[in-house]
Structure 1
Amino acid sequence: MNKSIKLYTGIFLTAAIMTQSACKKNFFDTQPDNELNIESIFTNRNQTEQYWGGLFTAVPDVWNQPFGELWSAVTDECDMSNQTATTIDAMNNGAINSTTTTNLTTAQYYPKIRQCGIFLDNIDKNKELLNTASGAYEVARMKSEARFLRAFYYWRIMQIHGPISILPEDTKLPTDNYQIPRATVDQAVDWLLSELDKAATDLPEEIFQSGTTTADPTQTGRINRMIVEALKSRILLYHASPLYNGNKDYAGFKNLDGTVLFNQTYEASRWTKAANAAKSAIDMAERNGKGLYQVSDADPFRAAFLSSRNLYWDGWRKEGIWMRPTSGTRSWESRTAPRSIAGTAFSYMGVTQEFVDGFRMASGLSIEQDPSYKESGFTNAGNEYYVAGTSKMYEGREPRFYAFVTFNGSMIPGAAKAGMTRVEFYNTGNSGKAGAPRDWSKTGYTIRKNIHPTFSMTPAVNVARPAMFIRLAELYLNYAEALNESDPNHPDILKYLNAIRQRGGIPAIAPGTLSQEQMREAIRKERQIELAFENHRYFDVRRWKIADKPGYYQGGTYTGMDVSKGSTLSDVGFHTRTPAVRRAPWNNRFYFLPLLQSEMDRNKQLVQLPGY
C-alpha cells in the first residue's frame, strides 16, 4: 500500500509541477474525451493514475500572484499596476465586462469538473488497479478525492461568479445538451455539502507514517477528511454572510423561468451552522496533531515576529490543513522583494498606505488610539527590524507588521547585495523609482510576507515549500466570526480570537470589554492582518457586503509615500502621504464577476449578473 501511495503522490507532484511551467493549459486539458481514449486510459493503471493526478492541477496556488491568483491586486491590500494582466487592469479601472473578465472558469474549473466526472464514471473499469493488494481501498479513496475536487471547483466558480450551473451527475458527450440554468445559491450550497459528505465517507482523517503520529509527507496535498471539514467551514461561513444571506440587492436576479437566485429572507440560523462546522473542523485538525505554529524565544516580541514570519516555510506541517505540494514561491519572492536583494528582484508588489495604517501598535491599539504613534521625525537607533534614521511612523508597531511589510529603512528581507544593509524606497534609493523603468513600488512599500531570509535572485536561492490553501488560523477566525453572530456571549469567541492575537504578539482582549459590534470589527481586523495577501481580503469584504464602507472601500484613490521624491533615508519629502494608485470608484456590480460571453453563447439558459 505504501508503495502505491507514494507512486500516486509522485504523479500528483509531477502534475502540479507541470502546471507551474505551463501557464495556459494543464496537461490533461489537451486530451480528447473520445470513447477510444477514455477506454484506453481506464484500462491501463499508469494512465489512470496520471489522469487522477491531473485532477489536482487547478487547485489554486496562493502565492502565484498576480498572474494566477489575482485577488490581492484588486483589493485595498496592494498595488501591482507596474506589471499586471488585462483582467486585473480591467477590474481596477472599472472596465470589467463579459470580454475582459477572468477565464478561470472556462479554462480551468469547468474542464476539471468534467474530468472529475469522467474519472468517477470510469475508474471502476480498471481491473489492473483493482486487482492490486490495496486496489479496492485506493480506488475508493481516489473516487472520494475526485468527488471532493469536483465540488471544490464548483465552489470556486460560485465565489467568483455567483450562482452556478451544475452539470449532470453522469458525464455526457460534448455533443449532448448542456443548456443548464444557474442553481439558486441555496440549492448550490446544499448540493456542495452533500457532495462533500459523500466524499468524506472513504477518506481518512489524516495519514500518518507507519507506527507514528507524524503526518506522512508523501501524502501532502492529497485530500483527507480534515480538508473536507475545513472546506465545509468556509462554504457555510460564506452562506451565512450578508452577500449570500437575504441579499435583497439581487431580488431581480432571476433565471429565465423567473426563479430568484438569491434567498430574500435573512436566516440567522446559518451562523449557527457555520460555527458548528468550524468547530468540527478545528476539533478534527487538533486531534490529528494540528495547532498554531509558534516559535519560542526569550523575547516575546521576537517570538511573535518569528512565528509570523517563519510560518510559511517551517510551520506548514503544524498549521497547514490543505496544502499544495508545489508553489510558485520563487516567482512570488522575485516580485515582492526589493531590488537590494542579491541579483536584483522586481520590487513592484506595493502595499497601500491604507493597509499599512491598519496594522496596530505593539500595544494592540490602532495608530489612532495609541498616543505613542508619531508620523513625524526619525528614529535615533535601529534594531533587527529597521535602521537608525527610519521614520517614526514605523516605530513600535505590532510584530506582524515587520514580518509582512517592507518599508523604507527596514532590513533587507533576503540575501542582500554586497554593501547594502537596508531597503531604500525613496526616489534615488537602492529600490527607488529612479533606479528602474518599472521595477519599483508605487506606494513606497512592498510585501514582505513569505520571503525566505536566504532568498536570492542571483545566485538563485529558493527554499521550496508547499503553499497552505487552508490553515488552522483561518478556521479559528471562521469559528470566532460565526459564533459572534450566533451566540455573542460564548467564551470560545475570545478563546480562539485571542489565540491568534497572542501568537501575533498583541495583548488578549479581556472578557466583557467589547460589544457584539465591536467584536465583529475586531474579528474582521484580525482577518485583515493575519490572512493578509493570502487571497482572503477580496472575498471577505464582498461577503460582508461592505466594499463601499470606510475602512473597507474597494476602489478610488489609495495613498503611499511620495516615491518621486527623496535623496536620503530620512528625507521628509518622501515621507509624505500622497495619492499613489487611482482606481475606478466602487460599483455594486463588482460583488461578483461576469461570466465570459463565450460561456453565455454556449449555454443559452445562463443569465448574466446584473450590471454587466
Structure 2
Amino acid sequence: MKSKLHILFALLFITGIICTGLNSCKKDYLNVNEYLYDMTNIDSVFVDQDKLLTYVNGIASYLPDEDKLWTSSWSPFQGSSDENFSSWDDDRHAGIKLLLGEITPYTANSYFNNYSTWYKGIRKANTVIAKIDQTRGLSITSKRQYLGEMYFFKGYFMYLLLQEYGPAVIPPDNVLDVSSNTTELSQERNSYDDCVNYVITNMELAATYLPATKEALSDIYRPTSGAALATLSRLLLEAASPMYNGNQSYSGWKKSDGTPFISQTRDNTKWGKAAVMAKRIMQTGLYELYTYPISADTDPLAYNVPTAAYPNGAGGIDPYRSYKYTFIGEVPANSNREVIWCTRVNPTAGDSPLWLSTPAQLGGGNGLNLTQDLVDSYKMKDGFDINNSSTTFPYPGSSTAYQPIGTAKNISDVQLVSNTAKMYNNREARFYATIGFCHSYWKGTSYTGSGAYKNLEVTYYSDGTAAPTVNYPNDYNHTGYTCIKYNHPFDNMQATAAITNKTFPIFRYAEILLNYAEALNELNSSYTDVNASITVDRNLEEIKSAFNRVRFRAGLPGLSTAELASQESIRNAIKLERKVEFACEGRRYHDLRRWLDAPTAYSKPVTGMNVKTTSTQRDRFYTPTTISEPLTYRAWSFKMYFWPIPKESIDKNAKLVQNPGW
C-alpha cells in the first residue's frame, strides 16, 4: 500500500498533470450543489485503501505547478515582479497584466483564479481526517502518512490563499452537515493573524506525522516534516514584516465586529517567532547549501575572499557550479541537501521556465526580458558594488564598458567569448549562473541535427542572432538580458531537442539561512520559545554566520564592516542578497510587498540595453536606456498588494468582502 501511494504521488508530479487552477478544475468554495454531490458519494471513498488513495491523489492535484514561472503560470508572482517582463501581453503570459492595469475582480475570474480550488483542497483534506478510520485494513504507518499529508495540505492551501489574496476565510474543521443552507455555509474572512495561526496549527501537526526525509527519488515530491516547517519559516517571516505587523495603511479595513484584518499593533516578538522557526530547521542537521568541489576550470577566488574550507570561507568549492547545479538537474534532488521540498519541472517545452528565455534558434520563445536594475544588483567578484568597485576589479566607465574583453575565458561551465563586453567581466558567480546577456554562449549540446542550432553566440542587436524575424516581428528581447538560471548546457528545444530532467526547489536551505539572519536583525530584545527550548536575540555573530554561508557559497567575502555598522545597513544587505540569491524564483514579488518597498521599486523606469541599435553601434547598444513602450508601463497602486478575489466567488458568499481598492 505504502509503495503504491508513493508511486502515484510521484506520477502526478512527473507527468505534469497537476491542476494549477484551470477552469476545468475550479469549483466555488462551499458550493452547495457540489458539496451535496461529494457528500452523497463520499462513503464509497473509504471502502478500501485503493479508493482512498485515488481521493488523496485528487487533493494533491490542487497543488500548483510552482515551476511555471512565466508561461502558462499558476500565479502572477514572477510575471509581475520588478525583475522582468514578457514580450507579449497575452493570456499565456498573464502575469504582466497586473502592472499594465488590466486586472479587475471580473478579469480575476479568468486569470490565476485559484481561490475556490484551494478551498476545495482544504475541505477534502478535512473529509479524509474525519473519515479515515472507516478505511478497512489501513496500517498505522499508512494512516500516519495520510494524516500528515492532510494536515500539510490544509496548511499549505491556506498559506497559498494568504500569498495571493491576503486574509482568508478559515473553514471549519468538521465535515459540514449536508442539510446546511447557503446562508449557513457563507462565512466572513478572518484576520491575517488568525489565518497564520491556522497554518501553524496544521503544519505543526503535519510535522509530527510526516517523516523527516525521503530517500527514494520517486518520493521527493511528497512533503516531509521539513517542508511543513519551511512553510512556517517563510510565513512567519512575512507575518513579522511591516506589511502585516502594525501596518496603519489598513487601519480602516475591519471585520464586521471591528477587528482589523491586519494587526494595527507592531509586535517585535513576531520576529522572534520567525527566528525560532528558522533555527528549528537549522538544528535538524538535515540541510546544507549544495557545494561542488573546486575544479581545474573554477574561477580563482578574489584576493579578499576567505580561503578557509566552506562554510568558514569559500575554499575548496566551485561557486558557480555550487549555485547553478540545484536548478539545472545536474544533481538529483534526493542527493541535494539544499532542497527541502521541490516539484518536477514540467518537460513540456512551451510551458517550462526554459522556453520563454531561450532564443528562437534553440527552439525557444525569445520573449523574457530582465531589467538592468536586476543585472546591476550583482556584485563584482570581490564583493564590491559596481557603483563603488575596487581598483583590483574595477567596473568600467561608460567610455570602455562596451568594449570587448578581447580574449575568451572559461568560468566553470561558462564560456565568455572574446566579444563579451567589459561590463560583464569579473562579476560574481551568480551573475553568470543567472543572466543571459549579449554575446552569451549557448551550448545546447543535445542537438544532433545538421543545422547551426548549438554552440551559439547569442546577440541582441537589431541585426543580431536573436533579432526578430519577418514572420514574427514582436518576438524579440527588449532589454538585452534574459534568465538562464534553469538552462543546462545540454538543453536544446530545436528539432532533435532534449531537455535535462529537472526539479524546481519550492523551499531551499538558502532561504532558511537568510530568513534567520533577517529575523535576528529585526529583534529589539531576546525571545524565548519554551516549547522549542530556543532563545534568540540580535546576535551579530549568529547573523554573520547564517548570512555568510550564502555569501561564501557564491564565492564572495562575508558581511563587511560597513554592512555590519547598523541594523539598517544589515537590513539593506539582506534585501540585496535576497534579490540576487532568489532572482527569478518567484520570491521578489512577495519580498517587495512585505517590506512595503513595492511603490519605490515599481516606480523606477525600466532600463536595459539599446536593442534598437545594430552590431556596428556597440557603444550605443551598451548604453543603459529607458525602455518606454506599452509592455514596460507600470501602474502601481495600493490595491496591488493583494490580488482581487474573483467576482464569481464574491457573488456566492454574501459575507465575503473584496480586497481594498478593488
Q: Deviations over 1:299-336 (max 9, x none)?
A: 65371111122122235332100112454574221222
Query: C-alpha distance in 2, partners of 1:261/1:509?
Result: 38
Alpha carbons 1:563, 1:574 under 8 Å: kept: yes
Structure 1, unaligned runs of 5 or more: 208-214
Q: How does 1:356-371 map to 2 (within 5 A)?
A: 356-370=375-389
The aligned amino acid for 1:109 is W
Which segment is superposed worse, 397-406 or 321-330? 321-330
Which segment is superposed worse, 467-476 or 46-55? 46-55
Find out whether 1:346 has 2:365 as its counterpart. Answer: yes
Query: C-alpha distance in 1, partners of 2:15/2:107?
Result: 26
Find out whether 1:494 has 2:544 as its counterpart. Answer: yes
Query: C-alpha distance in 1, partners of 2:585/2:348?
Result: 13
User: Cα gap change, 1:463/1:175 in structure 2, threshold over 3 Å: closer, same or farther?
Assistant: farther
How many angstroms does 1:339 deviate by?
Answer: 2.7
Find out whether 1:424 has 2:459 as its counterpart. Answer: yes
User: Cα gap change, 1:357/1:413 in structure 2, threshold over 3 Å: closer, same or farther?
Assistant: farther
Query: C-alpha distance in 2, partners of 1:480/1:24?
Result: 35
- Specify the alignment match of 1:373 in structure 2: 395
Find out whether 1:572 has 2:619 as its counterpart. Answer: yes
Alpha carbons 2:18, 2:61 under 8 Å: kept: no
Alpha carbons 1:79, 1:349 under 8 Å: kept: yes
- Specify the alignment match of 2:245 in structure 1: 245
Find out whether 1:46 has 2:76 as its counterpart. Answer: no
Q: Deviations over 1:334-390 (max 9, x none)?
A: 22222342xx21121111111111111111111111151114331222223321122
User: Cα gap change, 1:414/1:26 in structure 2, threshold over 3 Å: closer, same or farther?
Assistant: farther
Which of 193, 197, 214 pairs up with 1:190?
197
How many angstroms does 1:70 deviate by?
Answer: 3.0
Which segment is superposed worse, 557-566 or 323-332? 323-332
Find out whether 1:71 has 2:71 as its counterpart. Answer: no
The aligned amino acid for 2:402 is G
Find out whether 1:314 has 2:330 as its counterpart. Answer: yes
Find out whether 1:114 has 2:118 as its counterpart. Answer: no
Which of 319, 329, 335 pairs up with 2:356?
335
Which of 542, 552, 558 pairs up with 1:508?
558
Which segment is superposed worse, 558-567 or 435-444? 435-444
Find out whether 1:559 has 2:610 as its counterpart. Answer: no
User: Cα gap change, 1:319/1:84 in structure 2, threshold over 3 Å: closer, same or farther?
Assistant: farther
SS of equivalent residue, structure 1 residue 491: helix
- Specify the alignment match of 1:6 in structure 2: 3
- Specify the alignment match of 1:301 in structure 2: 299
Which segment is superposed worse, 436-445 or 81-90? 81-90
Which segment is superposed worse, 136-145 or 100-109? 100-109
How many angstroms does 1:507 deviate by?
Answer: 1.1
- Specify the alignment match of 2:655 in structure 1: 605
Find out whether 1:407 has 2:441 as its counterpart. Answer: no
SS of equivalent residue, structure 2 residue 60: coil
How many angstroms does 1:61 deviate by?
Answer: 3.0
Alpha carbons 2:274, 2:516 under 8 Å: kept: yes
How many angstroms does 1:588 deviate by?
Answer: 1.8
Which of 595, 610, 619 pairs up with 1:544?
595
The aligned amino acid for 2:12 is A
Which segment is superposed worse, 505-514 or 405-414? 505-514
Q: Deviations over 1:200-240 (max 9, x none)?
A: 22222224xxxxxxx23232122221111111111111110
Query: C-alpha distance in 2, partners of 1:10/1:271?
Result: 39
How many angstroms does 1:476 deviate by?
Answer: 0.6
How many angstroms does 1:407 deviate by?
Answer: 0.3
Q: Deviations over 1:281-302 (max 9, x none)?
A: 1222x2x3x2110111246537
Q: Deviations over 1:33-80 (max 9, x none)?
A: 433431222213222112112222233333212222431211111111
Which segment is superposed worse, 12-21 or 135-144? 12-21
Q: Deviations over 1:464-519 (max 9, x none)?
A: 22221001111011101101111444311111111101111211124684321111
Which of 507, 519, 542 pairs up with 2:570?
519
Q: Deviations over 1:126-147 (max 9, x none)?
A: 114x1xxxx1221122112111
SS of equivalent residue, structure 2 residue 505: strand
- Specify the alignment match of 1:267 in structure 2: 267
SS of equivalent residue, structure 1 residue 72: coil
Find out whether 1:94 has 2:101 as its counterpart. Answer: yes
SS of equivalent residue, structure 1 residue 464: coil
Which of 431, 434, 437 pairs up with 2:473?
437
Query: C-alpha distance in 2, partners of 1:443/1:306?
Result: 26
Q: How does 1:433-512 map to 2 (within 5 A)?
A: 433-434=468-469, 436-457=472-493, 458-486=495-523, 487-510=537-560
The aligned amino acid for 1:503 is R
Find out whether 1:82 has 2:88 as its counterpart. Answer: yes
Q: Deviations over 1:434-484 (max 9, x none)?
A: 564333221111100011111011212112222210011110111011011
- Specify the alignment match of 2:256 in structure 1: 256
User: Cα gap change, 1:500/1:334 in structure 2, threshold over 3 Å: closer, same or farther?
Assistant: same
How many angstroms does 1:163 deviate by?
Answer: 0.6
The aligned amino acid for 1:564 is K
Alpha carbons 2:76, 2:96 under 8 Å: kept: no
Alpha carbons 1:433, 1:563 under 8 Å: kept: no
The aligned amino acid for 1:609 is N
How many angstroms does 1:18 deviate by?
Answer: 5.6
The aligned amino acid for 1:598 is E
Query: C-alpha distance in 1, partners of 2:364/2:96?
Result: 23
User: Cα gap change, 1:95/1:421 in structure 2, threshold over 3 Å: closer, same or farther?
Assistant: closer
SS of equivalent residue, structure 1 residue 259: coil
The aligned amino acid for 2:373 is E
Query: C-alpha distance in 1, partners of 2:10/2:187?
Result: 34
The aligned amino acid for 1:310 is Y
How many angstroms does 1:555 deviate by?
Answer: 4.7
Task: Give the aligned CA root-mean-square deviation in angstroms.
Answer: 2.4
How many angstroms does 1:29 deviate by?
Answer: 6.3
The aligned amino acid for 2:572 is E
- Specify the alignment match of 2:113 in structure 1: 104
Query: C-alpha distance in 2, partners of 1:389/1:335?
Result: 25
TM-score by length of 1: 0.90
**Percent identity over paired residues:** 29
The aligned amino acid for 1:216 is A
Query: C-alpha distance in 2, partners of 1:40/1:18?
Result: 27
SS of equivalent residue, structure 1 residue 170: coil
The aligned amino acid for 1:193 is I
User: Cα gap change, 1:19/1:116 in structure 2, threshold over 3 Å: closer, same or farther?
Assistant: farther
Query: C-alpha distance in 2, partners of 1:300/1:6?
Result: 42
How many angstroms does 1:263 deviate by?
Answer: 1.0
Aligned length: 588
Alpha carbons 2:85, 2:96 under 8 Å: kept: no
Alpha carbons 1:256, 1:607 under 8 Å: kept: no
How many angstroms does 1:156 deviate by?
Answer: 0.9
Query: C-alpha distance in 2, partners of 1:55/1:248?
Result: 38
Alpha carbons 1:164, 1:188 under 8 Å: kept: yes
Q: Deviations over 1:91-145 (max 9, x none)?
A: 01123221123443335312222222222222221114x1xxxx12211221121
Alpha carbons 1:405, 1:447 under 8 Å: kept: yes
